[in-house]
């Protein structure tokens, strides 16, 4: 199908210095939680994006020198010429599909731990290092150090050119750059020509940009990634810097700082959220501008270009959730775009030193290891029919992929609506966009003729025998426990019959809430604090009690924790930390101090207790115990997937459903990479 001609401007080529992007779709630099720990996986992930139509595909940060060590976070390296061959596989892969290849060179200065090289971290002055609790301070750089960093940066640019990159970056964003630290008076109190005025503080950056241009500017475009509020949050100085350097870079990649601000979740901001900050740049510079804002809608992208906000549509998360966005727009298949939900599970990969996962795209970082392509599926291997019990994220994804493979599917869901926990949780404040997980899959299923969906259809083991389908996949989810067992309490502390105790399931089912509410959160993610918000909005007096040192520790990995705490405080929700649930008796709830100090007793109308979940696996066990009755009914296999197998995040449920469907009738033992960890490089 041809694309809507309205979108033609998105497919115009854009000249960037000496190179030309074939269209305006620009995958900005983003890390993968793997980098050189899994070079094949990283390369294939980028290649898939190039195949999906992105005009430019960039890498994550590539360290320019051993004094800029990300360790233990995965990253790329361009320290020496020996690094060229390894990194060259990425531009090669991108070029195979006509994309330009960009590399983001970086020296992270005060954010480096230098734990391997044991060289002191570098900074404009001696300060405690960033991103660490260790009492390490930087060395205040002398002139030789400054000269060395400048030369290392330019040498890394020369290596980037030799590796085949078309666009080479200097980076001053997220506070994670030595240039940023020189730019910021809060770090830079030098009295020499590298400190004081903005011109002086920008001197190292200018020298590097000009040096890069001289060294590689004949064939490579020089890009500059700059957060407009990078200079101690002062946008006026940010604007002055753009004015000052406007004629040097071939491309301005502009955003806001720090990383949690740049990659805000949908709970806190909507598509296009950076526009108000970065829109001025285009009126200052004469070279192309790329900017970001979790763009998934072609109309929003078009509007950015038409209104002169940017020339290239930058995307990190949208390109992770759907690497084929440009192709889908080009082919008039915009309804098939798998839109990012803004949950930042992807970011949690890098922050937990693990290959990136995505709630919407289960194939990400599995493109090489398992050979999964996000848009291509092997044809069915038999005429077997499959019954899926449960229409949550695992069941819907399983049905979606199986039906694309050509199998005949029946999906039965006990509740009136499909979507399981996602539909229920999306009703909480700020989580509406999570419904995209359901909508995308339901839309896809509705386009296919080989699937029958039965909501309001609770099935027992006998019903399933009557169905007589060859394979049964149980995806019945999990339920919050009523006995208080979790990470802190390993034995029951509640009887389950306390009249005023609810679980999150009860709340999502609309249970009545009375009087002051005490929410006890061992889950540590988003559920309890969104419930707290919802109840406070309704006028309830709400206290959140956590056994951890801070609320929602998991949300540190999605970079939302600070925002959540600030929001709860702004809503006058009381927070009690380091207290674990002991008992609930009548209208009192008792907590012990996790360190043995004084406990806490609160009076309540309703307690909401979220400790851990139990798989809803009784149907699976009943079926599994039927033995020959299964065979007599023609059932060849009974499986369980998702939360019903092991409660986890939504991304894990989607992945489990996807995997089951991919592996149906496939001998996975033929792919030895599937069940082994990623190969680790021997860099160190
Ligand atoms: C998983 C992930 C990794 C990222 N890694 C980098 C990085 O290595 N370098 C960088 O400049 N920005 C990085 N970013 C920020 C993105 O480039 C981008 O500016 C930000 O996510 C906003 O764009 P989006 O709304 O399209 O995601 C990362 C973002 C994500 C989500
Ligand atoms: S993990 Fe969430 S935020 Fe990240 S790309 Fe996927 S859907 Fe978007």
Note the pLDDT tens digit of each residue in 519-539: 999 999 999 999 999 999 999
Mean pLDDT within 20-43: 94
553 shares a domain with 446: no
The CATH number for 519's domain is 3.50.50.60
When the pLDDT of each residue in the chain is averaged and rounded to a whole number, the result is: 95
Is 251 within the bounds of a domain?
yes
- Check pLDDT > 90 for residue 71: no
Is 413 within the bounds of a domain?
yes
| Closest ligand 2 atom, residue 266 Cα | 3
- Check pLDDT > 80 for residue 678: no
Mean pLDDT within 631-655: 97
- Check pLDDT > 80 for residue 672: no
- Single out the residue of 577, 581, 573, 515 nearest to residue 551, CA to CA: 577
Query: Which class for 81: exposed (0-12), middle (13-18), buried (19 or more C-beta within 10 A)?
Result: exposed
Distances (CA, A) of 185 to 181, 226, 255, 364, 456: 8, 17, 20, 40, 62
Q: In testing the pocket of ligand 1, which one of 24, 27, 29 has its CB within 8 Å of the most ligand atoms?
A: 29
pTM: 0.97
401 shares a domain with 329: no
Expressed in angstroms and rounded, the spacing between residue 348 Cα and the centre of ligand 2 is 10
Q: What is the pLDDT of residues 77-93, one digit of tens each?
A: 999 999 999 999 999 99
Q: In testing the pocket of ligand 2, which one of 321, 354, 525 has its CB within 8 Å of the most ligand atoms?
A: 321
Are 474 and 390 within 8 A, CB to CB?
yes
639 shares a domain with 575: no
- Residues spanned by the domain of 439: 385-477+616-665
* Residue 444 pLDDT level (bands cut at 50, 70, 90): very high
* Residue 674 pLDDT level (bands cut at 50, 70, 90): low
| Closest ligand 1 atom, residue 294 Cα | 25
**Could you say which of 593, 614, 635 is where a domain stops?**
614
306 shares a domain with 184: yes
- Check pLDDT > 50 for residue 682: no
Is 682 within the bounds of a domain?
no
Q: In testing the pocket of ligand 2, which one of 49, 322, 346 has its CB within 8 Å of the most ligand atoms?
A: 346
Within 10 Å of residue 116's Cβ, how many Cβ atoms?
12
563 shares a domain with 628: no
Are 214 and 207 within 8 A, CB to CB?
no
**387 ligand 2 Cβ < 6 A:** no
533 shares a domain with 547: yes
229 shares a domain with 98: yes
DSSP collapsed to 3 states, 78-131 = CCCHHHHHHHHHHHHHHHCCCCEEEEEEECCHHHCCCCCCCCCCEECCCCECCC
Q: What is the pLDDT of residues 200-248, one digit of tens each?
A: 999 999 999 999 999 999 999 999 999 999 999 999 999 999 999 999 9
Give nearest CA residue, ligand 1 atom 1: 347
Give nearest CA residue, ligand 1 atom 13: 30
* Residue 677 pLDDT level (bands cut at 50, 70, 90): very low
* Residue 468 pLDDT level (bands cut at 50, 70, 90): confident
The CATH number for 26's domain is 3.20.20.70
* Residue 675 pLDDT level (bands cut at 50, 70, 90): very low
pLDDT at position 670 is 67
193 shares a domain with 314: yes
| Closest ligand 1 atom, residue 173 Cα | 11
- Domain count for the chain, please give it: 3
pLDDT at position 683 is 38
347 shares a domain with 225: yes
Is 341 within the bounds of a domain?
yes
Catalytic positions: 31, 171, 174, 262
* Residue 680 pLDDT level (bands cut at 50, 70, 90): very low
* Residue 671 pLDDT level (bands cut at 50, 70, 90): low
- Check pLDDT > 60 for residue 407: yes
Is 356 within the bounds of a domain?
no
Give the largest CA-CA distance in the chain: 86
**344 ligand 2 Cβ < 6 A:** yes
Q: If DSSP codes are grouped into helix, strand and coil, which group holds residue 454?
A: strand
**661 ligand 2 Cβ < 6 A:** no
- Single out the residue of 635, 654, 620 nearest to residue 459, CA to CA: 620
- Check pLDDT > 50 for residue 461: yes
Are 77 and 683 within 8 A, CB to CB?
yes
- Check pLDDT > 90 for residue 323: yes
Share of the chain above pLDDT 70, in %: 98
* Residue 382 pLDDT level (bands cut at 50, 70, 90): very high
Give nearest CA residue, ligand 1 atom 29: 30
**How far is 271 from 273, CA to CA, in rounded Å?**
6
- Single out the residue of 431, 609, 646 nearest to residue 528, CA to CA: 609
Expressed in angstroms and rounded, the spacing between residue 14 Cα and the centre of ligand 2 is 28
Q: What is the pLDDT of residues 164-183, one digit of tens each?
A: 999 999 999 999 999 999 99
């Amino acid at each position: 199908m041809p694309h809507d001609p309205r979108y033609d401007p998105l497919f115009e080529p854009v000249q960037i210095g000496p190179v030309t992007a074939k269209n305006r779709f620009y995958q900005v630099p983003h890390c993968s939680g793997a980098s050189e720990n899994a070079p094949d996986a990283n390369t294939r992930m980028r290649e898939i994006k190039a195949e999906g139509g992105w005009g430019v595909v960039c890498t994550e940060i590539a360290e320019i020198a051993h004094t800029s060590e990300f360790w233990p976070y995965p990253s790329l390296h361009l320290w020496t010429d020996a690094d060229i061959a390894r990194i060259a596989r990425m531009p090669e892969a991108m070029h195979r599909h006509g994309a330009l290849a960009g590399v983001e060179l970086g020296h992270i200065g005060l954010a480096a731990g230098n734990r391997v090289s044991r060289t002191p971290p570098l900074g404009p002055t001696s300060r405690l290092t960033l991103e660490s609790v260790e009492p390490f301070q930087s060395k205040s750089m002398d002139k030789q150090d400054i000269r060395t960093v400048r030369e290392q940066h330019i040498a890394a640019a020369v290596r980037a050119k030799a590796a085949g990159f078309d666009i080479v970056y200097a980076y001053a964003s997220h506070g994670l750059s030595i240039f940023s630290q020189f730019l910021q008076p809060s770090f830079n109190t030098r009295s020499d020509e590298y400190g004081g005025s903005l011109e002086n503080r920008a001197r190292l950056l200018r020298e590097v940009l000009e040096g890069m241009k001289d060294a590689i500017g004949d064939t490579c475009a020089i890009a500059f990634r700059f957060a407009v509020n990078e200079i101690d949050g002062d946008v006026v100085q940010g604007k002055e810097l753009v004015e000052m350097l406007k004629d040097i870079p071939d491309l301005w990649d502009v955003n806001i700082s720090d990383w949690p601000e740049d990659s805000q979740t949908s709970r806190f901001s909507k598509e296009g959220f950076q526009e108000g900050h970065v829109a001025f740049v285009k009126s200052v510079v004469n070279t192309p501008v790329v900017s970001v804002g979790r763009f998934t809608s072609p109309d929003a992208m078009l509007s950015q270009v038409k209104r002169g906000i940017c020339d290239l549509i930058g995307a990190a998360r949208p390109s992770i959730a759907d690497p084929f966005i440009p192709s889908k727009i080009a082919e008039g298949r915009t309804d098939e775009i798998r839109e990012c939900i803004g949950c930042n599970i992807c970011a949690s990969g890098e922050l937990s030193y693990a290959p990136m996962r995505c709630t919407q795209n289960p194939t990400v970082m599995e493109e090489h290891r398992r050979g999964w392509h996000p848009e291509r599926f092997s044809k069915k291997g038999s005429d077997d029919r499959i019954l899926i019990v449960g229409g949550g994220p695992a069941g819907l994804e399983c049905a979606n992929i199986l039906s694309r493979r050509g199998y005949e599917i029946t999906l039965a869901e006990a509740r009136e609506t499909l979507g399981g926990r996602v539909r229920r949780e999306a009703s909480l404040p700020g989580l509406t966009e999570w419904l995209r997980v359901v909508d995308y899959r339901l839309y896809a299923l509705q386009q296919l003729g080989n699937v029958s969906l039965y909501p309001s259809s609770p099935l027992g083991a006998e019903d399933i025998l009557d169905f007589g389908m060859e394979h049964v996949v149980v995806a019945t989810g999990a339920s919050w426990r009523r006995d208080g067992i979790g990470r802190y309490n390993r034995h029951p502390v509640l009887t389950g019959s306390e009249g005023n105790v609810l679980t999150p399931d009860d709340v999502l089912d609309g249970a009545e809430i009375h009087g002051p509410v005490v929410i006890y959160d061992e889950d540590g993610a988003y559920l309890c604090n969104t419930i707290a918000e919802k109840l406070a909005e309704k006028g309830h007096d709400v206290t959140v009690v956590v056994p951890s040192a801070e609320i929602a520790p998991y949300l540190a990995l999605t970079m939302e924790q600070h925002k959540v705490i600030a929001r709860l405080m702004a809503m006058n929700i009381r927070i009690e930390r380091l207290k674990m649930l002991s008992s609930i008796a009548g209208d009192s709830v008792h907590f012990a101090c996790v360190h043995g100090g004084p406990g806490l007793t609160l009076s309540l109308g309703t307690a909401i207790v979220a400790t851990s979940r139990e798989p809803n696996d009784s149907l699976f066990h009943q079926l599994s115990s039927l033995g020959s009755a299964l065979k007599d009914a023609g059932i060849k296999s009974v499986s369980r997937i998702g939360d019903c197998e092991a409660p986890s995040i939504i991304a894990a449920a989607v992945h489990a459903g996807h995997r089951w469907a991919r592996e149906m009738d496939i001998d996975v033992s033929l792919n030895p990479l599937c069940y082994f960890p990623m190969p680790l490089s021997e860099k160190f």
